[in-house]
């Protein structure tokens, strides 16, 4: 650990460091800053990006419906109204719990009195280290742009391709994982090819593109009631998506995927299957669950590590019945708000932090135009009304009035015209799109 001092001057007030400006970290910092007595606390938010990303709408960037700027907001601008909150752009690499310091890449160290770890999750490829390169996941802006480039470049390539097998591979999209991300992505790709791009090409018919959703479990959307999952499957199939359940992906490489012993040549493969926690548990050297999430106490503190708390996707917390809380934005946000209030009271009035209680506001997924599902626990909703509610909730949750307005206008325009304005290939096409399918052909020909 370096002794390089933090650039934030100490001023005698207790210092709370929040690592991660996602849903949980941001909610915690804002609530702490706003809470009665919160001004008596100094807060530093550290994130490796200078923006907060609205992850639930990433699939719309990947399928050209929205631009990255529609769903990403600078952290400094979100927190500019709170004078007691500082922001550091930096990647955390470790925590010295004995010296109470957070270690940043580049050797800088930031001291803390209380530390909140809200570093989210990463995709897990179940030990297949070669799969991320050929099957990008939807987690970052870079991922979404990369997937968009892959999708659009493959269709451009297909337009110029005279070999029927190769063209079929270029026009095949495989989405691995039948959770909400996979379902939303499959529905959006199907709508992109069936409607938006239908008349844009001269030699290929984008409506003939194959979209496959592959799920190893017996059904898609396992976290939702069975009748909602069945409805989602029917809607996907009506859009032309082939839903394959009970079949695990055995291989992914540059030529496509192998499922149930059958090779499926595909230029675009999107990963939406396993999730693992950020490495925060390793920084502390504490007990984690199988997904690497830090097992936290009911007040979100990390047992055995004084002054350290964890929340959101990187924490394993349970509800009143002892059931693990799901990795959802609403869980992270509620935990952040709870901890913000609890820390303000603790640091200014000495009150012991209260246990966190999750209030389920409803789990949702969208399948496509006029089709979404909601599960509120005691009741469910599906169809057009659920779709409108999904849109209202997501616009409301976006940070900033400008984003809400721009996204609403884009959605209304898309609803009226099927247009997707962000159909731009802004990166060089991935070399393996062409390479992959050529390899596949040469193998078949050999
Ligand atoms: C494609 C997709 C769709 C989803 N859709 C929904 C949905 O519709 N509804 C829903 O409720 N949930 C949804 N989720 C889940 C939801 O996004 C997460 O549960 C939520 O983002 C968790 O919040 P968090 O604050 O724990 O982490 P995040 O929001 O992921 O934030 C983590 C932050 O930590 C930062 N960070 C990470 N590591 C470091 C480091 N070493 N140093 C510095 N900073 C770091 C990151 O840059 C990021 O800003 C979706 C997730 C995905 C991937």
d(C-alpha 19, C-alpha 379), whole Å: 36
Q: Which of 142, 156, 184, 337 is catalytic?
A: 184
| Res 50 pLDDT > 90 | yes
Task: Give the integer Cα–Cα distance in Å for 272 and 295.
Answer: 24
CA of 95 from ligand 1 middle (Å) equals: 21
State CA 159 to chain mean position distance: 32
Query: What are the extents of the domains in the chain?
Result: 15-48+90-123+275-349, 131-273+363-445
pLDDT at 5: 47
Instruction: Give tens-digit pLDDT for 207-236.
Output: 999 999 999 999 999 999 999 999 999 999
Q: Is the CB of 19 under 6 A from ligand 1?
A: yes
Residue 435 has pLDDT above 50, yes or no: no
pLDDT score, position 12: 81
pLDDT in tens, 135-178: 999 999 999 999 999 999 999 999 999 999 999 999 999 999 99
Candidate from 265-269, 339-343, 419-423, 430-434 with smallest mean pLDDT: 430-434
Does 184 qualify as catalytic in the annotation?
yes
Ligand 1 within 6 A of CB of 333: no
- Percent pLDDT > 70 in the chain is 93
Question: Mean pLDDT across the stretch 87-105?
Answer: 97
Q: Do the strands 315-316 and 294-295 form a parallel or antiparallel pair, or are they unpaired?
A: parallel
**131-273+363-445 shares the fold of 15-48+90-123+275-349:** yes
Q: In Å, how far are 98, 146, 292, 416 from 421, measured between CA atoms?
A: 52, 17, 39, 13
pLDDT for 432: 53
Mean pLDDT, residues 114-136 taken together? 94
pLDDT average, residue stretch 376-402:
90
Q: Residue 390: beta bridge partners? A: none
Mean pLDDT value across residues 58-64: 93
**Chosen CATH of 15-48+90-123+275-349 out of 3.50.50.60, 1.10.340.30, 3.40.50.150, 3.40.50.300:** 3.50.50.60
**183 close to 220: Cβ distance less than 8 angstroms:** yes
What contacts 24+ positions apart, CB below 8 Å, involve 400-409?
400/73, 400/77, 400/78, 403/70, 403/71, 403/73, 406/70, 407/57, 407/66, 407/70, 407/71
- Structure token digits, residue 365: 């997924």
Answer yes or no: is pLDDT of 406 > 70. yes
Query: Would you say the CB of residue 183 lies under 6 angstroms from ligand 1?
Result: no
88-102, 254-268, 410-424: lowest mean pLDDT where? 410-424
Asked whether 315 and 22 are in contact (CB, 8 A), the reply is no
Which residue's C-alpha comes closest to atom 29 of ligand 1?
A: 22
CATH class for the region spanning 131-273+363-445: alpha beta
Beta strands 42-47; 121-124: pairing state = unpaired
58 Cβ inside 6 Å of ligand 1: yes
């Amino acid at each position: 650990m370096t002794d390089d001092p933090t650039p934030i001057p100490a001023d005698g007030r207790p210092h709370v460091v929040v690592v991660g400006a996602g849903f949980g970290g941001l909610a915690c910092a804002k609530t702490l800053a706003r809470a009665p007595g919160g001004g008596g606390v100094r807060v530093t938010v550290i994130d490796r990006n200078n923006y907060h990303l609205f992850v639930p709408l990433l699939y719309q960037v990947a399928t050209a419906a929205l631009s990255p700027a529609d769903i990403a907001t600078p952290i400094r601008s979100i927190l500019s109204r709170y004078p007691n909150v500082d922001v550091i752009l930096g990647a955390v690499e470790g925590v010295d719990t004995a010296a109470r310091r957070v270690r940043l890449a580049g050797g800088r160290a930031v001291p803390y009195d209380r530390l909140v770890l809200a570093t989210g999750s990463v995709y897990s490829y179940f030990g297949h280290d070669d799969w991320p390169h050929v099957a990008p996941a939807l987690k970052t802006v870079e991922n979404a742009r990369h997937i968009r480039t892959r999708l659009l470049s493959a269709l451009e390539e297909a337009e110029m391709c005279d070999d029927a097998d190769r063209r079929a591979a270029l026009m095949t999209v495989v989405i691995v994982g039948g959770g909400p991300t996979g379902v939303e992505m499959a529905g959006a790709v199907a709508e992109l090819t069936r409607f938006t791009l239908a008349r844009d090409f001269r030699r290929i018919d984008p409506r003939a593109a194959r979209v496959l959703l592959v799920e190893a479990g017996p059904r898609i959307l396992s976290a939702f009631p069975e009748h909602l999952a069945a409805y989602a499957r029917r809607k996907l199939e009506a859009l032309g998506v082939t839903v394959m359940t009970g079949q695990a992906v055995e291989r992914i490489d540059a030529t496509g995927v192998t499922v149930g012993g059958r090779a499926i040549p595909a230029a675009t493969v999107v990963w939406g299957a396993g999730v693992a926690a950020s490495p925060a548990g390793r920084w502390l050297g504490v007990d984690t669950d199988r997904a690497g999430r830090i097992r936290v106490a009911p007040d979100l503190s990390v047992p055995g590590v004084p002054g350290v708390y964890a929340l959101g996707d990187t924490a394993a917390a349970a509800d009143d019945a002892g059931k693990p809380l799901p990795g959802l934005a609403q869980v992270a946000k509620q935990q952040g708000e709870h901890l913000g209030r609890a820390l303000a009271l603790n640091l200014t009035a000495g009150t012991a932090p209260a246990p966190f209680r999750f209030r389920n506001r409803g789990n949702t997924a969208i399948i496509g135009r006029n089709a979404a599902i909601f599960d509120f626990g005691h009741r469910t909703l599906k169809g057009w009304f659920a779709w409108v509610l999904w849109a209202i909730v997501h616009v409301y949750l976006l940070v900033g009035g400008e984003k809400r307005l721009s996204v609403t206008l884009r959605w209304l325009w898309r609803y009226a015209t099927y247009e997707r304005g962000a159909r731009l290939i802004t990166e060089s096409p991935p070399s393996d799109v062409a390479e992959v399918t050529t390899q596949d052909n040469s193998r078949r020909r050999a």
